[in-house]
DNA sequence: TGTCAACTTTACACAGTGTCAAGTTGATTC
DNA sequence: GAATCAACTTGACACTGTGTAAAGTTGACA
């Protein structure tokens, strides 16, 4: 796709996305500007600061990657266990897509309150997905006896955190496929009573 | 304990420790210097840079908090399940002690290769503990059927990561006691076959 | 021809790390 | 009691990256 006719704003977002995608490259404001073919100051004409630019980049990716569409199978599931599996697939496979931006945003959390808030909001949305899956399992009467739904939601949320994905894939060297299947199995064993993996 | 007779180096380490402990306070080099009652430059006489100072601080804490002693019950355990439980208690209760420094060190990972290495080394030590616990369970013939020991080690390591502790306690608001008991239960359900919580 | 928005160019303020060089000070040694 | 030395202080400065400010350019549109 030609980059010519796109608005400056879009070119900036695409540049930020691309730079953040490969972990090797730095993504300072000047780097992003250079990659977008605009001056560094042009960035500040469109985004008040780096945090806002990164946040806008995540929304931009969400649109391009259609996160909502990906979540549809989970919402359409007819059983709790299936809903859990489809949700893990949707979100778990989405993590690598946003990992670059996520990393940059997480790195800013200590210094930037706005970045913290933005990331927190996104993660709370994920938590809602976890909550819905847990509720569906509970409705089937299959939530592990020792768990209440709040605790189960928190645990699932933790299992599906970007940091966990990072640890298991980047650090431990798991493939994405291994990650998905092992996390599904883990969530099943630990949240669902009488769980048997539907292979 | 009087701070008078301690060496400058020790006073610096104590100051860094104290500042990093309460999450409210900043811990810039100048802050640490002020807290230690020395000039900022004195810090550079003892530590080449901030990363080294933080790393030295973790070792300082390890000594003061006797991490090795805490790990003894796990090593002395007579069954795999017990070893797992004692290890989770030892490490899980140690996390809040080092969390301040850990946070600072983790925040430096993206920019500082040395900090990354130092943190990685420490976490690999934790992984060894996980590995030993998994090996003990396996030796009892109680490792969950669907798991090989490598995967089980990785999963336990992820469950016991500082990031997970942070998510569950700081973000979800779990108490430390809840964290320990829920993680024990989670590790049991997900790693051990025929697991029954010993009350 | 004039106006306006979008963008560029140049310059600067600021925070925080790390470096450098020239003091001071107090203990040790001859 | 003078010289020496290590440990520390003081003040200045380089560097990086973010964000701000102000003046100049350019092309479209009226």
Query: Which tens digit of pLDDT belongs to each residue from B34-52?
Result: 999 999 999 999 999 999 9
Q: pLDDT tens for residues A13-36?
A: 999 999 999 888 899 999 999 999
Domain count for chain B, please give it: 2
Q: Are residues A154 and A91 part of one domain?
A: yes
Residue A199 pLDDT class (50, 70, 90 cuts): very low
Q: Which two tokens stand for residue B64?
A: 């003061």
Asked if A189 lies within 8 A of B190 by C-beta distance, the reply is: yes
Range 25-64, chain A: CB under 7 Å to any strand D atom: 26, 28-30, 41, 44, 48-51
CB contact under 8 A, A154 and B146: no
Q: In the predicted model, is pLDDT for residue A193 greater than 80?
A: yes
Query: Has residue A170 got a pLDDT over 90?
Result: yes
> What pLDDT score was predicted for residue B61?
95
Residue A1 lies in a domain: no
- At A38, which CATH number? 1.10.10
Is A197 part of any domain? no
Determine the structural domain holding residue A34 and report its residue range: 8-46
Q: Is residue A196 part of a domain?
A: no
Q: Which nucleotide has its C1' atom closest to residue A50's CA?
A: D18
Q: What is the pLDDT of residue A5?
A: 62
B29 touches strand D (CB under 7 A): no
Q: HEC states along A119-152?
A: HHHHHHHHHHHHHHHHHHHHHCCCECCCCCHHHH
What A103-108 contacts at long range (C-beta under 8 Å, 24+ apart), as own/partner pairs, is A103/A20, A103/A23, A103/A166, A103/B110, A104/A20, A104/A27, A104/A54, A105/A51, A105/A54, A105/A55, A105/A58, A106/A162, A106/A163, A107/B107, A107/B110, A108/A50, A108/A51, A108/A54
Q: What pLDDT is recorded for position A196?
A: 72
* Mean pLDDT calculated for residue range A171-176: 98
What are the pLDDT digits (tens) for A30-68? Answer: 999 999 999 999 999 999 999 999 999 999 999 999 999
| A159-164: average pLDDT | 98
What pLDDT score was predicted for residue B199?
41
Strand partners, B143: B192
From A195, A181, A183, A90, select the one nearest A132 (Cα to Cα). Answer: A90
CB contact under 8 A, A110 and B110: no
Nearest alpha-carbon partner for B52 in B76, B22, B29, B69:
B29
Asked if residue B91 and residue B18 are part of one domain, the reply reads no
Both A97 and A180 in a single domain? yes
Same domain, residue pair B97 and B174: yes
Torsion of CA B76, B81, B87, B92, to 10 degrees: -150
In a domain, A181, yes or no: yes
Residue A72 shares a structural domain with residue A149:
yes
Residues B90 and B157 in one domain: yes
- Co-location of A70 and A42 in the same domain: no
Mean pLDDT, rounded, for A4-10:
81
Residue B163 Cα, gap to closest chain A Cα (Å): 7
**From B146, B157, B172, residue closest to A185, measured CB to CB:** B146
Q: Cβ of B146 and A107 within 8 Å?
A: no
For residue B159, give the CATH number of its domain: 1.10.357
At CA A146, angle to CA A145 and CA A152, rounded to 5? 100
Closest CA to the C1' of D6: that residue is B45
B48-68: burial string, b at 16+ Cβ within 10 Å, e else:
eebbbbbbbbbebbeeeeebe
Could you say which residues of chain B have pLDDT below 50? 1-3, 199
Provide the pLDDT for residue A98.
95
Say yes or no: A22 and A88 in one domain: no
Q: Do B33 and B70 share a domain, yes or no?
A: no
Alpha-carbon distance B150 to B131, whole Å?
A: 8
**Looking at the structure, do residues B77 and B132 belong to the same domain, yes or no?**
yes
Closest residue of chain A to B24, computed from CA coordinates: A110
Confidence of residue A3 (pLDDT cuts 50, 70, 90): very low
Quick check: is A199 in a domain? no
C-alpha B18/C-alpha B115 separation (Å) is 20
């Amino acid at each position: 796709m030609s980059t010519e006719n796109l608005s400056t704003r879009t070119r900036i977002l695409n540049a930020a996305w691309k730079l953040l995608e490969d972990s090797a490259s730095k993504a300072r404001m000047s780097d992003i500007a250079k990659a977008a073919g605009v001056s560094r100051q042009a960035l500040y004409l469109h985004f008040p600061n780096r945090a806002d630019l990164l946040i806008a980049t995540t929304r931009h990716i969400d649109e391009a990657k259609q996160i909502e569409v990906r979540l549809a199978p989970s919402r359409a599931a007819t059983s709790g266990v299936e809903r859990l599996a489809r949700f893990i697939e949707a979100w778990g496979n989405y993590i690598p897509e946003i990992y670059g931006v996520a990393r940059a945003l997480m790195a800013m959390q200590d210094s930037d309150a706005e970045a913290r808030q933005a990331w927190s909001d996104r993660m709370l949305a994920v938590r809602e997905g976890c909550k819905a899956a847990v509720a569906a399992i509970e409705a089937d009467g299959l939530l592990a006896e020792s768990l209440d739904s709040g605790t189960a939601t928190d645990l699932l949320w933790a299992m599906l955190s970007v940091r966990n994905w990072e640890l298991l894939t980047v650090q431990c060297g798991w493939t994405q496929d291994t990650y998905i299947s092992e996390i599904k199995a883990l969530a099943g064993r630990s949240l669902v009573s009488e769980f048997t993996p539907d292979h």
